[in-house]
């Protein structure tokens, strides 16, 4: 198992792909990122994820694993050396799974909204509830996973850069010192002193990439 190749099909701009990148980093797993634009429906993606045709897909040897939460759990279970990603206590583990599923449901709901205000509202609601989750899961420590990063830090942490970009682009606060103070502290720690800080994207960089992408799209539209 340890000698099989590991490939990650995806794009670094995707927060879902970044969850997998973070998990691979936590376990010190060597892998190859195969850049994939899902909108172009590349053949390899259709072949490895015929049901959903989405990134990320992890290829371990020639076996595909799909869906970011499932991939992260797979990584935790297939590579037993290195830190545990999910909590070892069964109840804490179940609660972590619960919040991960909850967060992804909220993202899906937000994606389903057309009006920008409603999208931002859904995301803000999610973070207010996650503030509660943080209190329960961290038990007074630095991260959702306790003293060091864990499952929920990866699941939610991968989205922080997008939250920052949304805040910058809309002149609003989603991670707010008055409404979600602990999450504000957590986000800062994630970016400054966690084992993941080198893979977390820089919000300014992402903003520039998105602006360039938008410019490209409007140029293409006006041709």
Q: Return residues touching other proteins (CB under 8 A).
A: 51, 60, 63, 65-67, 70-71, 73-74, 77-78, 90-91, 93-95, 97-98, 101-102, 129
Q: Which is nearer to other proteins, 18 or 73 (CB)?
A: 73
Q: How many CB atoms are located within 10 Å of the residue 95 CB?
A: 16
- Please, which residues have CB within 8 angstroms of residue 179's CB and are 6 or more apart in sequence? 128, 131
Closest distance between other proteins and the C-beta of residue 103, in Å? 12
Q: Which is nearer to other proteins, 66 or 149 (CB)?
A: 66
d(CA 183, CA 118) in angstroms, rounded, equals 22
Q: Which is nearer to other proteins, 44 or 95 (CB)?
A: 95
Q: Can you read off the two tokens belonging to residue 175?
A: 């991670």
Q: Which is nearer to other proteins, 103 or 191 (CB)?
A: 103
Alpha-carbon Rg of the chain, whole angstroms? 18
Closest distance between other proteins and the C-beta of residue 60, in Å? 7
DSSP SS3 for 153: helix
Q: Can you read off the two tokens belonging to residue 202?
A: 């820089």
Closest distance between other proteins and the C-beta of residue 139, in Å? 14
């Amino acid at each position: 198992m340890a000698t099989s190749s590991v490939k990650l099909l995806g794009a670094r701009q995707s927060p879902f792909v970044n969850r997998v990148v973070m998990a691979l980093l936590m376990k010190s797993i060597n892998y190859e990122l195969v850049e994939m634009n899902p909108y172009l429906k590349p053949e390899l993606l259709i072949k490895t994820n015929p049901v959903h045709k989405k990134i990320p897909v992890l290829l371990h040897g020639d076996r595909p694993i799909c869906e970011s939460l499932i991939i992260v759990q797979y990584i935790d279970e297939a590579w037993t050396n290195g830190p545990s990603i999910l909590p070892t206590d069964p109840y804490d583990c179940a609660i972590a799974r619960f919040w991960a599923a909850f967060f992804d449901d909220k993202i899906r709901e937000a994606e389903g909204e057309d009006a920008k205000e409603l999208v931002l509202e859904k995301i803000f609601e999610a973070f207010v509830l996650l503030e509660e989750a943080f209190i329960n899961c961290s038990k007074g420590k630095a991260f959702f996973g306790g003293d060091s990063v864990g499952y929920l830090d990866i699941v939610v942490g991968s989205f922080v850069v997008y939250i920052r970009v949304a805040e910058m682009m809309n002149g609003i606060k989603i991670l707010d010192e008055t409404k979600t103070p602990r999450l504000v502290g957590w986000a800062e720690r994630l970016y400054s002193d966690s084992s993941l800080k080198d893979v977390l994207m820089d919000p300014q960089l992402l903003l520039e990439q998105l602006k360039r992408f938008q410019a490209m799209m409007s140029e293409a539209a006006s041709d």
